[in-house]
């Protein structure tokens, strides 16, 4: 697993809790970062809690939004959480590349 302890910021929100999002959340947790998760599929709430993560989309309490692959990042159909993060000048990154 990549060492993320030197990563700037300490509070991260993972948008999308599929395989890639879960992997990013686990890596950030291993780096002692505060990680919460948001997914449009509310059935994933139990999975996130079982893995030790909060499930919410409160952007006022994060330093960085981590967007999983497959979530629309630009254009008319940009995910609303991404739009809100941009409005709040929150750093946005993805969990691949």
**pLDDT the model gives residue 80:** 94
Average pLDDT of the residues in 79-94: 92
Cα dihedral value 63, 66, 72, 78, nearest 10 = -10
* Alpha carbon distance 16, 67 (integer Å): 7
The alpha-helical segments, DSSP class H, found in the chain are 19-30, 45-50, 80-87
Q: Are 44 and 68 in contact (CB under 8 A)?
A: no
Question: Could you tell me the pTM of the whole model?
Answer: 0.86
pLDDT digits (tens, 9 = 90+) for 25-81: 998 998 889 999 999 888 888 888 888 898 876 788 899 999 998 898 888 999 999
Collect all residues with Cβ–Cβ distance below 8 Å to 76 and sequence separation of at least 6.
none
């Amino acid at each position: 697993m990549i060492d993320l302890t030197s990563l700037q910021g300490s509070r991260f929100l993972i948008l999308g809790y599929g395989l890639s999002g879960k992997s990013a959340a686990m890596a950030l947790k291993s780096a002692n970062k505060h990680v919460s998760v948001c997914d449009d599929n509310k059935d994933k709430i139990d999975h996130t809690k079982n893995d030790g993560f909060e499930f919410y989309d409160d952007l006022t309490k994060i330093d960085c939004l981590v967007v999983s692959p497959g979530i629309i990042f630009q254009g008319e159909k940009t995910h609303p959480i991404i739009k809100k993060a941009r409005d709040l000048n929150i750093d946005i990154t993805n969990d691949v590349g």
